[in-house]
Amino acid sequence: MSRIIFWLALVFLVIFAVRSKIREAQKRHQQQFREPQQPAGGGARSNEKVVAEAETMLQCAHCGIFYPASESVQARGRDYCSAAHATLPAA
């Protein structure tokens, strides 16, 4: 009888350990998408910061893909996603 109790306790311990590991992994996964160093208690404020840091997106005049404005290559008065597309003849 004590053997059955021992095995039941062991099974419960294993299940508990696995569940806590999964919860830990989920927490780590969620933190990856947040800012690495967040000030304490800055819930809404950090969201505003993220919006302020969002970059303007431009559309490539050649392929139509959207890309950050900082990566823009300008040629002939138009914006392109890369130097390769800027040098291609206009479609």
Give CA–CA dist 67/76, Å, rounded.
18
Is residue 75 within 8 Å of 87, Cβ to Cβ?
yes
79 neighbors 61 (Cβ within 8 angstroms): yes
Residue 62 within binding range of Zn ion, rule CB under 5 A: yes
* 81 in contact with Zn ion (CB under 5 A): yes
- The region of 4-12, 26-34, 41-49, 58-66 touching Zn ion under the rule CB under 5 A is 58-66
60 touches Zn ion (CB under 5 A): yes
Q: Which of 46, 49, 59, 63 binds Zn ion (CB under 5 A)?
A: 63
